[in-house]
């Protein structure tokens, strides 16, 4: 939190955000780090602006303890948004409001999420989870409803791209619709494969993942390595 938030000059100006988009998560301070999370980094600039609201003069080298409140507040908002997205996803999957509510409630208070919510840098997990749940929600609606056009497919790709720019773990999401396909019976599987909307969904998710890997490679020189967390 000290390095990424309190002493991070990249979140203090528009120029700094441009630098954040072209550097790794630790800005070279950890040579083995190949983490690339520019969207999460950009969210910290909102918190920083809130801490400096009404103030003038040069920014301090390190933010004080009281300045942490906007950072923690935004973490709570992202956690709440992720829970709402999970509720909607489970409701769409199982059509059971009770199950959806119980799942989201357990997710909201489970101790395993303590570090992600309490630690400012844990926002990467919160943002990635929120965008991931939304991407899967849209993808499932494409699979089940077979809507005309490519709007939902494109939206799923955009949400996946945002999830990846928040944290790398979302790279597994393009495989999820393929798992849904495998779990269906032979007849349903053939029908789904014939659907243009499903094929467009796979292409949209694949393109989003490839676009992220291309940007990541251009900035860090490696599309796969995640040596430090």
Q: How far is C-alpha 226 from the geometric centre of its chain's CA atoms? A: 16
Q: Mention every residue, 6+ apart, whose C-beta is less than 8 A from residue 26.
A: 3, 4, 33, 35, 228
Cα torsion 213, 217, 218, 220: sign: positive
Note the pTM of the prediction, 2 decimals.
0.91
> What single DSSP character describes residue 74?
H
List per-residue pLDDT tens for the chain, 229 residues long. Answer: 988 888 888 888 877 788 889 988 988 666 557 899 999 999 999 999 888 887 777 778 888 888 899 999 999 999 999 999 999 999 999 999 999 999 999 999 999 999 999 999 999 999 999 999 999 999 999 998 866 667 899 999 999 999 999 999 999 999 999 999 999 999 999 999 998 899 999 999 999 999 999 999 998 886 655 554 4
| DSSP, residue by residue, 159-192 | HHHHHHHH-GGGGGGGGHHHHHHHTS-HHHHHHH
What is the per-residue pLDDT for 29?
67
């Amino acid at each position: 939190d000290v390095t990424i938030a309190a002493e991070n000059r990249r979140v203090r100006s528009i120029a700094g955000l441009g630098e954040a988009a072209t550097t790794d998560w630790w800005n070279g301070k950890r040579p083995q780090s190949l983490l690339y999370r520019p969207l999460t980094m950009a969210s910290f600039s909102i918190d920083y602006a809130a801490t400096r609201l009404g103030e003038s003069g040069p920014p301090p080298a390190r933010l004080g303890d009281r300045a942490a409140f906007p950072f923690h507040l935004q973490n709570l908002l992202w956690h709440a948004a992720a829970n709402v997205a999970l509720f909607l996803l489970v409701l769409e999957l199982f059509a059971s409001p009770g199950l959806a509510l119980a799942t989201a409630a357990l997710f909201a208070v489970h101790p395993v999420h303590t570090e992600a919510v309490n630690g400012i840098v844990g926002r990467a997990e919160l943002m990635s989870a929120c965008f991931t749940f939304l991407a899967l929600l849209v993808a499932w609606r494409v699979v089940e409803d077979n809507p005309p056009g490519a709007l939902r497919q494109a939206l799923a790709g955009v949400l996946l791209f945002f999830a990846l720019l928040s944290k790398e773990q979302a790279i597994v999401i393009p495989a999820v619709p393929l798992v849904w396909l495998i779990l269906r019976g032979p007849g349903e599987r053939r029908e789904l494969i014939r659907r243009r909307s499903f094929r467009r969904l796979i292409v949209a998710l694949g393109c989003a993942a490839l676009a992220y890997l291309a940007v990541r490679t251009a900035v860090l020189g490696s599309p796969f390595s995640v040596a430090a967390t």
